[in-house]
Amino acid sequence: MALTRSQRAFEAARGVIAGGVNSPVRAFKAVGGQPVFIARGQGPCVIDLDGNRYIDYVASWGPLILGHAHPAVVEAVSRALRDGTSFGAPTERETHVAARIREAMPSIERLRFVNSGTEATLSAIRLARAFTGRDRIVKFAGCYHGHVDALLVQAGSGAMTFGRPSSPGVPASVTADTLVARYNDVPGIEALMAEHGRRVAAVIVEPVAGNMGVVPPEAGFLPALRRLCDEAGSLLVFDEVMTGFRVGWGGAQGRYGVRPDLTTLGKVIGGGMPVGAYGGRREIMEQVSPDGPVYQAGTLSGNPLAMACGLATLEVLSAPGAYERLEASGRRLAEGLREAASRHGVASQVHQAGSMLCAFFAEGPVRDDVTASASDTARYGRYFQGMLRRGVYLAPSQFEAMFVGTAHEDEDIAATLVAADESLKELSAA
Ligand code: KE4
């Protein structure tokens, strides 16, 4: 049978790009088959090189909350482009985006833009260590904070999918000060902080975990982290790269009412262009160069095109009712998936927080990395392929999230649930 254009493109890519992809999860290794190559996006859909149209729930792993090629975004970036691409000098747009972020999340009294979520978390960790004069960092198994050496320990997302709890090439000396706790396990983190707290610079957490699949915080978990950090004199870092402007205008810190000392952001604040940020209490951020001694820099940080894209995205999201509609879409999808799975006797746990959700193929409750890892990933792979064949593009891994956006109309969600019903029926018959 003749190769599809995506298959030919993948072969060509493999000849020059490591693994044929620029990020591991895109290679479909966790779900089988080969990646489809995307030609373009349009609203809630992406179209591949062979002309197949998919309702897109990857949304570039979260940033495309408005859908693809939103008119306001296209206009803003095109206008900015005509004035140049980058200056390596301050522009007012950076101030406007930062002000919008502070308005939405008042804990971020000062921030610094960088170019990715990874840069944001590595910078936040360095800053926390400098501010406290301590070296220990606590993270949670199943949470992923980018490919930061010190944090690539029992990471979620790609590393968890590939079953490699920590990557080769990370010296033991670099992770020697990284402690790993279990998500949603308050007694566990209490015991860890009782033993190590005085040496802990920061506790970093995904306030809604999205890299072991979606696992919301159980009541009391986030407040416990706030209390334990206050008692130990450690900083609480909310990694809101995924949850920022995703689970609410005020992020997870607004949704759950817990104020972190530092926050990392990415994805939505760039609207699909490379933007990350870290920020928080003024006295902490004043330690960052050039005002303070903590060094961090970046050639393209605050890039004018990326700022224009992010600003246009946040402007649309700030409209009254936007998050109510996102929440309603997320809830509708989650309830429809639960009903379909139940109708066909497929054991699944569907979790939803705002407009991020996921379906675990698991018998029992999923509340941390251990219970998430017990999911039937082979079954997820078959479900993924069934949905892809029916024109629905999900994350090619059980340990990722499904993102619904403002461009998904009722008929897109209805069509998605029809495809899910047929795919789950197929699973139950297998
Ligand atoms: P980036 O360096 O990929 O921009 O951000 C790293 C990061 C940090 N923190 C959280 C909570 C994240 O979810 C991420 C990146 N998320 C993954 C998806 N689970 C990005 C997709 C990929 O790695 O290709």
CATH of the domain at 258: 3.40.640.10
Residue-wise pLDDT for 143-175, tens only, equals: 999 999 999 986 445 444 333 447 899 888 888
CA dihedral 59, 64, 70, 72 (to 10 degrees): 180
> Do 118 and 203 sit in the same domain of this protein?
yes
Write the DSSP string, 157-221. HHHHHTT-SB-TT--HHHHTTEEEE-TT-HHHHHHHHHHHGGGEEEEEE-SSB-SSS-BPPPTTH
Determine if the peptide bond prior to 207 is cis (ω within 30°).
no
| Percent of the residues in the chain that have a pLDDT greater than 70, as a whole number | 97
What are residue 265's DSSP bridge partners? 277
Report the DSSP pairing between strands 276-280 and 402-403: unpaired
Is 401 within 8 Å of 358 (Cβ atoms)? yes
Q: What is the C-alpha separation between 408 and 392, in angstroms, rounded?
A: 12
From the CA of 117, how far away is ligand 1's center (Å)?
A: 6
Residue 403 predicted with pLDDT over 60? yes
Q: Closest residue (by CA) to atom 9 of ligand 1?
A: 145
Residue 55 predicted with pLDDT over 70? yes
> Do 63 and 92 sit in the same domain of this protein?
no
> Do 221 and 284 sit in the same domain of this protein?
yes
Minimum mean pLDDT range among 95-99, 175-179, 353-357: 175-179
Residues with CB under 6 A from ligand 1: 23, 25, 61, 116-118, 121, 144-146, 157-158, 206, 210-211, 239, 241-242, 266, 276, 400
> Do 228 and 88 sit in the same domain of this protein?
yes
Residues with a catalytic annotation lie at 144, 239, 267
Which tokens sit at 67? Answer: 């859908």
| Percent of the residues in the chain that have a pLDDT greater than 90, as a whole number | 93
> Do 380 and 257 sit in the same domain of this protein?
no
Q: Closest residue (by CA) to atom 23 of ligand 1?
A: 23
Cα–Cα nearest to 409, from 335, 338, 348, 328: 328
pLDDT at 314 (0 to 100): 98
Is 145 within 8 Å of 239 (Cβ atoms)? yes
> Do 240 and 303 sit in the same domain of this protein?
yes
pLDDT at 31 (0 to 100): 96
Q: Closest residue (by CA) to atom 1 of ligand 1?
A: 117
From the CA of 332, how far away is ligand 1's center (Å)?
A: 26
pLDDT at 164 (0 to 100): 43
Residue 320 predicted with pLDDT over 60? yes
Q: Which residue has the higher pLDDT, 158 or 229?
A: 229
Instruction: Using the 3D structure, point to which of 299, 317, 335 is the last residue of a domain.
Output: 317
Range of the domain at 176: 71-317
- DSSP, collapsed to helix, strand or coil, labels residue 385 as helix
> Do 160 and 265 sit in the same domain of this protein?
yes
Instruction: Using the 3D structure, point to which of 296, 317, 338 is the last residue of a domain.
Output: 317
Instruction: Using the 3D structure, point to which of 317, 347, 382 is the last residue of a domain.
Output: 317
Q: What is the C-alpha separation between 18 and 180, in angstroms, rounded?
A: 30
From the CA of 275, how far away is ligand 1's center (Å)?
A: 12
> Do 136 and 48 sit in the same domain of this protein?
no
> Do 292 and 245 sit in the same domain of this protein?
yes
Average pLDDT on 261-284 reads: 98
CATH of the domain at 425: 3.90.1150.10
pLDDT at 263 (0 to 100): 99
pLDDT at 154 (0 to 100): 67
Residue 93: pLDDT band (50, 70, 90) is: very high
Domain total for the chain? 2
Which tokens sit at 97? Answer: 């985006």
Q: What is the C-alpha separation between 248 and 246, in angstroms, rounded?
A: 6
Is 410 within 8 Å of 396 (Cβ atoms)? no
From the CA of 224, how far away is ligand 1's center (Å)?
A: 25
> Do 84 and 174 sit in the same domain of this protein?
yes
Which tokens sit at 198? Answer: 């005085």
> Do 298 and 383 sit in the same domain of this protein?
no
Minimum mean pLDDT range among 21-25, 136-140, 153-157, 193-197: 153-157
Residue-wise pLDDT for 22-49, tens only, equals: 999 999 999 999 999 999 999 999 999 9
Cα–Cα nearest to 100, from 275, 285, 289, 298: 275
> Do 227 and 239 sit in the same domain of this protein?
yes
Q: Closest residue (by CA) to atom 5 of ligand 1?
A: 117
